[in-house]
Each structure stands twice: as C-alpha cells, then as structure tokens.
Amino acid sequence: MDILFKDVHFSYEEDREILKGISMEFPAGSFTSVVGTSGCGKSTAASVMMGRSRNYTGSVSVEGKELAAVRESDLMEQITLVSHNSYLFKGTVADNLRMGNPEADTEEMEAALKKVNLWGFLCTHQGLETPVLEKGSNFSGGQCQRLAIARALLHDTPVYIFDEATSNIDAESEEMIMDVIHSLAKTKTIILISHRLANVVKSDRIYMLKDGCAIESGTHRQLLEKGGGYAELYRSQMELEQYGKEVPA
C-alpha cells in the first residue's frame, strides 16, 4: 500500500505554516523513518497521513487515491497509528485488546502479549482479566506502551505508523518495541517517526525534517556520508549517549 506526499503544506493557524511543501514516498512493504528535532513537523505529517488534519494543500495519496476522497473509517482499516501517549481504557487487559480486534480470541490475545513480552508479567496477576485503571495508571509507562502495541498488532492493518512510540519509557521496553517493529517490517509497511536516530538505522529510507521542510533523504549510511544535518544530529546523540554510559549515576 503506497502512500505519497507531494508538495504538502499544512497550517494549524493561518500565519504559522507547519509543513512547508514536503514531498515523501512510503512504498508498500517498505520501512521508512521520518526524523528531526522537536517541532520540525514529524507528528503533523503523521496526523495528515491518518486523515486527522485534512485542510492541507498539495497532494497526499493512498494507493493512488487522494486522501481527501478516502473515508476515515476506510483509512483506519488500512493504517494503525501507535503514538507515544496511546490511551488505555478502564476495564481489563482483554477489554483493551479487543478494541484492536473485537473478534480476537484468547489464543490470539495471548500471542500478541507474548510478542511484546508482557504475558509473563500478566500471568503473575490475573492474565487477560488483569484490571486496567484509567490511562493504565496501575502499569508502568513501558508496560502501557507494550499493551498498546499488542492491541495494535491485533488490529492487523497493512500500514503501521509509530509516532515517537518509544519516547519516555525504560530502555528494556524500548528495545522490546523496536524488536517488534523490525519483525513487523518483514510483512507490513512501517513508518517510524522518531527523534532518536539510533532507532532508525535499519530503515530502507530516512527523511530528515527541519522547520517543516524535508531537507535530506536516503539510507542511514548515505546520510552519514553526506555529512549534513542528519549526520550532525546522529553524531551528537551518539556522543551524548556514550557520555551517559561513562559517567557513573
């Protein structure tokens, strides 16, 4: 399922343009990442792609069909969005999972939880009947996100958008989620939006956004060789992470 941005402009307010003529391609079956510092327009691009921000100019097409002509309900059958603040509802683990697929049986739900390494933890509680408080307040941030991803796996759409899905969680959960994303990339179209460049290294293509413009694109290696904004941001992040490891807590 191909998604194509062509000269896309978008503003929340008339005098403040967020996307400034962005062109990007997301071919069917590809693993594409969109990166850049906070405020560069990454999440806005995801919002446009999901049909939530429709007053754009330019062209956004899904399988050759202009997004404006696609019903939101049809779009949701094709694309699943996992954001950094995925919402969990008051009820049970099973209740939350069935929001991804109302027809999911016990075996399918357990399999999804095993993929995100959450089933072992839930077995020490009440399994699928483990209570979930409003916003998942009785789970850690990493557990909430893994449960949200298990729900997304059950939705089983051709395209998955992960919008900062690993931000503000523990390192173990981040690694687990990236393993799930790489596994999904073997059979699905994956769009990964991230400020952390270590997570996008294996992408087929990376778009670097800055101030609402796509300033660079290519593979990780190509972008490093260019020595531009991506290479600079990658090296500064790696140095910072290395420094964090060297300095005792």
**Segment 108-130 mean pLDDT:** 96
Q: What is the CATH number of the domain that holds 149?
A: 3.40.50.300
Is 60 inside any structural domain?
no
Residue 172 confidence (pLDDT): 87
Query: Binning pLDDT at 50, 70 and 90, where does residue 246 land?
Result: low
Is 64 inside any structural domain?
no
State yes or no: pLDDT of 235 exceeds 70.
yes
Residue 244 confidence (pLDDT): 65
Residue 73 confidence (pLDDT): 87
The helix (run of H) or strand (run of E) holding residue 40 is none
**Segment 78-91 mean pLDDT:** 92
**Segment 170-188 mean pLDDT:** 92
Is 220 inside any structural domain?
yes
Is 98 inside any structural domain?
yes
What is the pTM assigned to this prediction? 0.92
State yes or no: pLDDT of 224 exceeds 90.
yes
**Segment 53-80 mean pLDDT:** 90
Residue ranges making up the domain that contains 99: 20-45+70-246
Residue 54 confidence (pLDDT): 81
Is 32 inside any structural domain?
yes
The total domain count for the chain is: 1
Is 63 inside any structural domain?
no
Is 160 inside any structural domain?
yes
Residue 248 confidence (pLDDT): 55
What are the tens digits of pLDDT across the range 3-19?
999 999 999 888 889 99
Q: In the block, which residue shows the tokens 């996307």?
A: 19
**Segment 100-118 mean pLDDT:** 96
Which residues, listed in sequence order, are joined to residue 79 by a DSSP beta bridge? 159
Is 14 inside any structural domain?
no
